[in-house]
Structure 1
Amino acid sequence: MAEIKRGVSLYSFQNDTFQGKMTLEDCIRTCADMGAKGIEIIGEQTFWGWPEVGVDQAKVEEWHRLIKQYDCVPVSHDFMLDYKRYKGREMPFDEQVASVKKDIDFGALLGMKYIRALVSIAPEVLVAAAPYAEEKGITILIEVHAPLHFDHPWIVRHAEAFEKSGSDALGFLPDMGMFLFKFPRVWKAKFERIGVPKHIADYIEKAYEDRVLSEYVILNVREMGGQGPAIAMAETLRHNAAFEPKRMLDYMPRIHNIHGKFYEMDADLYEPSIPYDEIVRVLQKGGYDGYICSEYEGNRWIEDVEEPDSVEQVRRQQEMLKRLIGEPTPTALAA
């Protein structure tokens, strides 16, 4: 059976890094201590000034030193080509390709095997950049992120373009947030704190679990007298859904990295809203042997009432992943 590997997106520690509570070394050491040796970054977060003003070579050297010191593996640089909002104009095709090539160079500089492309990038841009990625030993992975999914026409269009190109430098990075089987508890609690009446919040939560069409939920909330925050809570149903993990199987040959999105890990090491047990079974069935990189996004839903403990949340998910993957415990190894 293929062995799934564990990693962490340093995006999980965004509160801690932006507030100066964790350095790059703190982040990498923390991941290594958890046995999560795969390190994924967002360039803008980890290397201030990228991509507008480049990056300090000393920072790159520090990166490589820390990766070696803590016996970790560079996995992915997640880049942000927002070509629609570039200097007040839409970025022309050739400039988009050149921008992707710049991030390919950056990923290669950091020793990454993959770079993550935002789902908004047209397949033609990635196909045009693929030969350069091949030269640099980089695979470009487009993120399949809710509300999109593997049967969405935009993703199908990418898949068709990738196959037609014949390039192995193009693939997919599924975000596990598209398998949101239950309305996250931290979302509901936050909406209630900002004014959503409990009976409306309860209705939206139940409607999500019953898979009621989002437009009907929004209409019903309006008729219940819901305003402002209540409408915003109902609107989340338009952007999230419980798609089927098994749909990854048809795309497995081009799936090379996984975003282990989660919003809350409880004390029992369980994510209440995303079915990781089923997800891991599907990945194992498909022979996936890449990384699942923890991506904690519950921080933004609780920081108004408590200081997020991102490290503890990631630790809990890593413990869950160890169990689901079937990773041997130190006791079992000794025996």
Structure 2
Amino acid sequence: MSSAIKRGVSLYSYQNETFQGRMSLEDCIRTSAELGAKGIEIIGEQTFWGWPEYGAADADVETWHRLIKQYDCVPVSHDFMLDYKRYKGREMLFAEQVASVKKDIDFGARLGMKYIRALVSISPDVLVAAAPHAEEKGIKILIEVHAPLHFDHPWIIRHAEAFEKSGSDALGFLPDMGMFLFSFPPVWKEKFMRLGVPKTIADYVEKAYEDRVLSEYVILNVQQMGGVGPAIAMAETLRHNAAFEPKRMLDHMGRIHNIHGKFYQMTEDYVEPSIPYDEIIKVLQQGGYQGYICSEYEGNRWIEDAEEPDSVEQVRRQQVMLARLLGEAEVPTIKTAPISVAAE
């Protein structure tokens, strides 16, 4: 029996192809739709030229709605940024931060989104202050729970407490599956070795991660092994990543409304070697989750020095894996080749 969990794609996954002009917005939406991943998530700056500084042109928004309707897709989330520490050479005032979030709420509503993603650095006080406006617009603001943070981190607990105290159902969470990094990603190790990390050190860091050795000990040991530069950087990745428990999502399931299906690599046999999606899906099903899991491919930055990333193929493979784990009978396939923006 198929699951109530739905499949989607963050168009961020196609960042290489869109930046290079090899995929248009229509290519991104059509490709996702053909894979049966009908939920579409965006980062405004990537999809709409000029956002947020200059707004988004009416014609571009009209094109967005036309394509969503044409390919029978669902707008899921606008992932907004609030870089409040780089505002005109100073940190934004509280009222300015709230006003900025309200602007993104309005934009999300304009695009037909149900949710907007908030960066984990944003204060819960700002989100609570913006919540009434979100309620008016039928939008939920979801704070992204992203490694190295997790659901037992004091900063996330502070958000959870503030959300409950507010009494607003417009505030919630968007877990990023990268916080469940159970193994050191092979593409990371290969990249560091191309940068000159000796195999002995690379093997040690990989094994130390598997053994859950404290990051500071790993960094010190790498230094004592003679590691410098890239070797230290490889060891320092352990400071920012960990194998947190998927079951910790259960206590917050009532406020979890969207999922970032982070992945760094999908093998030819449809396995993400570093993130246990089989366990993750079981936990989400146990918790009664019925939202989208949106593919978020971030392996491109780890291989583009050695080969041209094929984000479409990587997303396809993850969608096949998700479809199988969700009990779907049909295998996701791509029927139409992308048409480059330059050729249009």
Same fold (TM over 0.5): yes
Alpha-carbon distance between aligned partners in 1 of 2:127 and 2:179, rounded to the nearest angstrom = 23
- Identity in percent: 84
Alpha-carbon distance between aligned partners in 2 of 1:7 and 1:199, rounded to the nearest angstrom = 40
Length, aligned pairs only:
330
Which secondary structure does the structure 1 equivalent of 2:85 belong to?
helix
Task: Output the aligned Cα RMSD.
Answer: 0.8
Q: Does 1:47 align with 2:42?
A: no
Superposition deviation, residue 102 in structure 1: 0.2
Which stretches of structure 1, 4 residues or longer, exceed 2 Å deviation after superposition?
A: none
Q: Does 1:233 align with 2:234?
A: yes
Structure 2 residues not aligned, in runs of 5+? 332-344
Instruction: Kindly provide the CA deviation profile for residues 295-315 of structure 1, in whole angstroms up to 9, marking residues without a partner as x.
Output: 000000000110000000000
- Aligned partner of 1:63 in structure 2 is 64
The question of whether the paired residues in 2 share the 8 Å contact of 1:9 and 1:295 is answered with yes
Instruction: Kindly provide the CA deviation profile for residues 100-158 of structure 1, in whole angstroms up to 9, marking residues without a partner as x.
Output: 00000000000000000000000000000000000000000000000000000000000
Alpha-carbon distance between aligned partners in 1 of 2:311 and 2:228, rounded to the nearest angstrom = 32
Written as runs of structure 1 = structure 2, the 5 A alignment for 1:234-273 is: 234-273=235-274
- Aligned partner of 1:83 in structure 2 is 84
Alpha-carbon distance between aligned partners in 2 of 1:280 and 1:329, rounded to the nearest angstrom = 18
Which secondary structure does the structure 1 equivalent of 2:106 belong to?
helix
Q: Does 1:99 align with 2:100?
A: yes
- Aligned partner of 2:73 in structure 1 is 72
- Aligned partner of 2:159 in structure 1 is 158
Higher relative contact order (CA 8 A, sep 6+): 2
Alpha-carbon distance between aligned partners in 1 of 2:310 and 2:140, rounded to the nearest angstrom = 33
Alpha-carbon distance between aligned partners in 2 of 1:216 and 1:135, rounded to the nearest angstrom = 50
The question of whether the paired residues in 2 share the 8 Å contact of 1:259 and 1:294 is answered with yes
Superposition deviation, residue 264 in structure 1: 0.2
The question of whether the paired residues in 1 share the 8 Å contact of 2:145 and 2:175 is answered with yes
Q: What letter is aligned with 2:306? A: V
Structure 1 residues not aligned, in runs of 5+? 331-335
Alpha-carbon distance between aligned partners in 2 of 1:87 and 1:188, rounded to the nearest angstrom = 39
Written as runs of structure 1 = structure 2, the 5 A alignment for 1:86-165 is: 86-165=87-166
Q: What letter is aligned with 2:16? A: N
Q: TM-score, normalised by structure 1?
A: 0.98
Superposition deviation, residue 2 in structure 1: 5.7
The question of whether the paired residues in 1 share the 8 Å contact of 2:77 and 2:116 is answered with yes
The question of whether the paired residues in 2 share the 8 Å contact of 1:2 and 1:288 is answered with no
Alpha-carbon distance between aligned partners in 2 of 1:156 and 1:239, rounded to the nearest angstrom = 19
Instruction: Kindly provide the CA deviation profile for residues 203-242 of structure 1, in whole angstroms up to 9, marking residues without a partner as x.
Output: 0000000000000000000000000000000000000000
Superposition deviation, residue 86 in structure 1: 1.4
- Aligned partner of 1:5 in structure 2 is 6
